[in-house]
Structure 1
Amino acid sequence: MTDTWCSSGGLTLEGNFVSTGGFQGGANTVRYLDSCVGCKWREYPTALAAPRWYSTQAQLADGRFIVVGGRDAQSFEYIPPEGQHNAQPFFFDFLKQTLDPEENNLYPFVFLSTDSNVFIFANNRSVLLNPATNQVVKEFPVLPGGHRNYPASGMSVILPIRLFAADPAKPVPAEVLVCGGSAHIDSYSKAEKNVFYEALEDCGRIRITDPNPVWKRELMPSPRIMGDMMLLPTGEVLILNGAMRGASGWGFAREPNFTPVLYTPRAKLGFRFRQLAPTTIPRMYHSSTVVLPDGRVMVAGSNTNNGYIYDSMFPTELRVEKFSPPYLDPALADSRPEIVNAAAIAQLGYNGKITVQVKAKPAAMILFNLKVTISVPGFSTHGVTMNQRLIMLGLESVNPTAGQPGVFDLAVVTPPNSAVAPTGYYMLSVVYQGVPSQAVWVQIK
């Protein structure tokens, strides 16, 4: 198998894994792994036209994958049909413009916008690309403060997409959050010389679907570089891992940031961040995270060494943790709902309605304490979680289920189109009084 180091990835409509790029002989490769017992990798080492090392892969509204950037690759391309290869990539002047002597534009932040265009952020700039014409259709203001992409590695998510707040005559509003990174253009080369700059502690937030969008800035509780940012089923954002000084690379960071932070997008400015119980395990370069169906977050990695080395400042880390967000506090167990008709909602269509049956201990005003979310499991590496997405579905009504005491019928509106929610598998959760259920898998197509 070709080398997958610093590659990219995502899941297809059928839930199968597609991987792109990697190191040396793996850089032009597309790999496939189906979700079946005993399935083997299939790979095509010449499928991509340009080498993709530290590139980003994102699913589009039409189901295709775009692959953007990579070391020495100021271009983008689309994954060809299996067994075929691309003759040439699309030159992307934006990546040439954002490249500096230390790069600082690798693993760009790439999100499908709700208008079918692609939001691409590199270094401190961002654009909207039309994948039908391969032309930039909007350039956003510069995000001040510094550099946000590898090796000055910040973090980013497209914030939860709210269907019940949408105007049917306009694209569903979409916002992007970018946090951390480095204020210094030379953070990597200075770290090589044992000078470790303090990381950024600011965040920028922008509504990418607005006609004239602007960045709004706020401060995290502490500086962070090389962190991970995860969308929780409640619609909150979990920030964890990383360091407070240095840059991405083997041994190029200091002062691990042990303290997770919870960000609540809907809270008032100044009250959105909450620090949580710290870990004792440094997780810096090469850390990764994934949200599990039970609401916990699996945390792993942070290998800052060239091999399995255990006597260094930050030893090779083989331990895996499961982080429990505050909503899993045992004191809140009575608020945890249970989805009881998973089989009936396993397949979703667009612009439709489903009935989710939930067992819960009701309080007054139950309708106003409930929400239903679906989230895509992302591909996590180097502080970037590709294709991560969470949609808050429309909730029309809540009524007791006939003949089933303690069970309620939730009338739920599904996403309007594949620009809001691309085809594929999602984890569907019901959140009651801020506590999510065990998720059930659903497929949208």
Structure 2
Amino acid sequence: MAETKTTLPFLLFFSSIPLLLLLLAAPTTTSAHELPTTPIAAATPISPEEFTDPKNFETLNEEKVLGPHELFGNPFGNPDDFAKKKIADDVGTPLDKEIDALLTTDAQHKVEATGTNSLTESEVKAITADGGLKVDAGGAGGGATAFQATGTTAAKGKKAFGTHLVNPTGFKGKWELFCKNTGVSSMHAILLPKVNKVLMYDATIWRISAINLPNGKCRVLDEKTGEKDCFAHSVLLDVNTAQITPLELHTDTWCSSGGLTLEGNLVSTGGFQGGANTVRYLDTCEGCDWREYPTALAAPRWYATQAQMPDGRMIVVGGRDAKSYEFIPAEGTHNPAPTNFDFLTQTTDKDENNLYPFVHLSSDGNVFIFANNRAVLLNPTTNAIVKELPNLLGGHRNYPAAGQSVLLPLKLHGGNHGPVASEVLICGGSAHIDSYTKASEGVFYAALQDCGRMRITDPNPKWKRELMPSPRLMGDMSLLPSGEVLLINGVKRGSSGWGFAREPNFIPALYNPRVKRGERFIELAPSDIPRVYHSTATVLQDGKVLIAGSNTNNGYIYDAMYPTELRAEKFSPPYLDPALEKFKPVIDAAVTPATLVYNQKIVVQFKMTDQQQVVQQANLKVTMYVPAFTTHSISMNMRLLDLGLDSVKPNGPGVYSIDVWTPPDTKVAPTGYYLLFVVNQGVPSEGIWVQIK
């Protein structure tokens, strides 16, 4: 059994007061808007002599102080209390003046008079039709418009939304309770390769969970008083057996970030107080536990976003009061200074609304960064902003407004000929700049119902907007192996924060990016468990999605309006309809290579569950999926590649071989572990783990 590394003490910390003060001081910065005159200093090695015994590692966790947007809201009361207050300026989803012309005067009047969106089918089609939502590139989001529609599409308008499978059955998916008690409420989650377990963790600040550390272990919080914390704050969940393995965390991971390395190991960054400057490592091996370095980052990163770069580095962007970015240093070293990023200063408003920025690596090697309602492309090598992109109209999209974003599947070509386009989808959020502040006063604005979609590799990109079936914020968006996008969890009103949301959105939606606007969404089977603040969604190897978490309370509170949630469910999307089982491929892992190199043709062999099924190349694709680190409505590093196919050949009864091209380079597919799927008529196989390097 593999052992945890022991080259440095588990969880390292400065011992001298001068060094501690240096850690807490504001770091110096270099500018990201122009090429630095001198290179960024190399990471500085840290000698073991600078650290002390682990019993002193809780120094920065002693002060029980919450941030300005983590005030404790009343967790009790009536969840329908929002309906008793009439909100005069509850605009829902603002629409552009050009869209106004597509809607009848009667429709405008209906919305303005009733305060609810009861648009007809034809009116919904008018809003979602191609060419219907022309957004001015220079416009500002969230401002007043000639017409403003609120959030919920009426049932009679749902016919405007289409269906996706080649052989649709009407199956809307299925929910199953998988684990009754995960031990910790899943604030953060990621599927780990090799061990095929989901890592879940929340925060250490509450000093409580529903599972103890093994073998009587405890964290010593205060040697003078003897205060201890004997609870686990991170666990591994076996996705087949539901077995829980507790892990030992010391630094506070509250609202942190993460991603996987080339070798499939987790790197976690930031958090609260003593965890804010921390880099943590968890190897994906049986018996491994956390290694933590609390001084590795130059700036505190609370509500920051982490993403992998083409050269293997990981960038960490933003965070509360951190208008900068930096790259994770080598293990056991620390960064001397971050790089200043004025874009984050410019996009901060009275309620912030730019925390957990959306960060996606584009297929051209630039980094797409979206905060609030604005976006830029950053060159991660030169630190230069290479393009300022159009604003996304309608409102505010990042925490605490908490919309969701994905990089849509990257379509590759046989022989890797031609450029690879990158397209971003952003959905939901809030039209109001003060949705958080108002929620703290008991006013819960309707969430946004619109999405913006833009091809960021175009010479002159423009947003195209469309409507979701229902409003959503604090939800999760997951790329499915079929190439569709699942929108799940979240609420229809309010904001992120303790007790600051109402009206859970129980109904998932499925988005097909390959069909025309107006036919891209369908609604799926509802859950009956509210998944509000601090929920997660994790795509699994079998194509199901693990849904866990939800804690809008300051601690573990089980009799609240929305109780701390420890149950985990599995959701089966429509492609897992038992009636479609005959279309399901089964990959032969013994023949398909597990290690890939770039820009090469390989053979993927599979057999059909029903050997009588005739496979046609037009109905086949091979996809590669990067497991996402999910937290706070953001899925970091999530990526799906639709590989280029050359040919499909029969290779025996019900057996086929596909000649498929691996990704062309690390800009399209950063190194690391992926799940590889064969998809037939919209129905995916179970994935197999492959590593590309």
SS at the partner of 1:345? coil
Which one of the candidate residues 595, 598, 608 is aligned to 1:347? 595
SS at the partner of 1:190? helix
2:482 corresponds to: 234
The answer (yes or no) to whether the contact 2:416–2:663 under 8 Å persists in 1 is no
The answer (yes or no) to whether the contact 1:398–1:408 under 8 Å persists in 2 is yes
2:510 and 2:537 mapped to 1: Cα distance? Answer: 15
**Aligned pairs (5 A) from 1:19-418:** 19-164=268-413, 168=417, 170=419, 172-342=420-590, 344-360=592-608, 361=611, 363=613, 366-401=616-651, 404-418=652-666
Amino acid of the structure 1 residue aligned with 2:446: E
Does the alignment pair 1:423 with 2:633? no
Give per-residue Cα distances to partners, 1:344-375, cap 9 Å, x unaligned.
41011100011011102465561111100000
SS at the partner of 2:334? coil
1:165 and 1:114 mapped to 2: Cα distance? Answer: 17
1:342 and 1:50 mapped to 2: Cα distance? Answer: 46
Amino acid of the structure 2 residue aligned with 1:374: M
> TM-score, length-normalised on structure 2?
0.63
Residues 169 and 297 of structure 1, relative CA distance in 2, 3 Å threshold: closer
Does the alignment pair 1:2 with 2:256? no
2:553 and 2:664 mapped to 1: Cα distance? Answer: 46
Amino acid of the structure 1 residue aligned with 2:410: I
1:173 and 1:165 mapped to 2: Cα distance? Answer: 15
The answer (yes or no) to whether the contact 1:286–1:302 under 8 Å persists in 2 is yes
358-367 vs 297-306, which moves further? 358-367
Amino acid of the structure 1 residue aligned with 2:620: L
Give per-residue Cα distances to partners, 1:313-360, cap 9 Å, x unaligned.
111111100000000001011111100134641011100011011102
Amino acid of the structure 2 residue aligned with 1:230: S
Q: Which runs of 5+ in 2 are unaligned?
A: 1-249
Residues 166 and 222 of structure 1, relative CA distance in 2, 3 Å threshold: farther
The answer (yes or no) to whether the contact 1:47–1:85 under 8 Å persists in 2 is yes
The answer (yes or no) to whether the contact 2:583–2:613 under 8 Å persists in 1 is no
2:302 and 2:465 mapped to 1: Cα distance? Answer: 31
1:271 and 1:57 mapped to 2: Cα distance? Answer: 33
Residues 270 and 392 of structure 1, relative CA distance in 2, 3 Å threshold: same
Give per-residue Cα distances to partners, 1:295-326, cap 9 Å, x unaligned.
00000001111122122111111110000000
Shift of 1:38: 1.5
Shift of 1:434: 0.9
Shift of 1:40: 2.4
2:88 corresponds to: none
Amino acid of the structure 1 residue aligned with 2:251: T
1:271 and 1:196 mapped to 2: Cα distance? Answer: 30
The answer (yes or no) to whether the contact 2:613–2:654 under 8 Å persists in 1 is no
Work out which structure has the larger RCO, using CA pairs closer than 8 Å and 6 or more positions apart in sequence: 2
1:179 and 1:161 mapped to 2: Cα distance? Answer: 19
2:367 and 2:635 mapped to 1: Cα distance? Answer: 16
SS at the partner of 1:334? helix
Residues 221 and 169 of structure 1, relative CA distance in 2, 3 Å threshold: closer
The answer (yes or no) to whether the contact 1:117–1:129 under 8 Å persists in 2 is yes
Residues 325 and 372 of structure 1, relative CA distance in 2, 3 Å threshold: same
2:449 and 2:301 mapped to 1: Cα distance? Answer: 30
Counting matched residue pairs gives 442
2:570 and 2:666 mapped to 1: Cα distance? Answer: 32
SS at the partner of 2:345? helix
Amino acid of the structure 1 residue aligned with 2:692: I
157-166 vs 44-53, which moves further? 157-166
2:524 and 2:530 mapped to 1: Cα distance? Answer: 16
1:138 and 1:380 mapped to 2: Cα distance? Answer: 28
Amino acid of the structure 2 residue aligned with 1:32: Y
Which structure's CA Rg is the greater one? 2
Residues 365 and 311 of structure 1, relative CA distance in 2, 3 Å threshold: closer
SS at the partner of 2:554? coil
1:243 and 1:55 mapped to 2: Cα distance? Answer: 22
Shift of 1:169: 5.1
360-369 vs 132-141, which moves further? 360-369
Give per-residue Cα distances to partners, 1:254-276, cap 9 Å, x unaligned.
00000000000001110000000
SS at the partner of 2:438? helix
1:246 and 1:124 mapped to 2: Cα distance? Answer: 18
Shift of 1:43: 1.3
Give per-residue Cα distances to partners, 1:196-239, cap 9 Å, x unaligned.
00000000000000000000000000000100000000000000
2:391 and 2:683 mapped to 1: Cα distance? Answer: 37
363-372 vs 52-61, which moves further? 363-372
The answer (yes or no) to whether the contact 1:376–1:426 under 8 Å persists in 2 is yes
Q: Which runs of 5+ in 1 are unaligned?
A: none
Residues 165 and 239 of structure 1, relative CA distance in 2, 3 Å threshold: farther
291-300 vs 361-370, which moves further? 361-370
1:340 and 1:167 mapped to 2: Cα distance? Answer: 24
Amino acid of the structure 1 residue aligned with 2:626: V
Give per-residue Cα distances to partners, 1:387-445, cap 9 Å, x unaligned.
000000011101011xx321111000110001001000000000011100010000000
The answer (yes or no) to whether the contact 1:241–1:258 under 8 Å persists in 2 is yes
2:315 and 2:364 mapped to 1: Cα distance? Answer: 16
Residues 219 and 125 of structure 1, relative CA distance in 2, 3 Å threshold: same
Amino acid of the structure 2 residue aligned with 1:188: Y
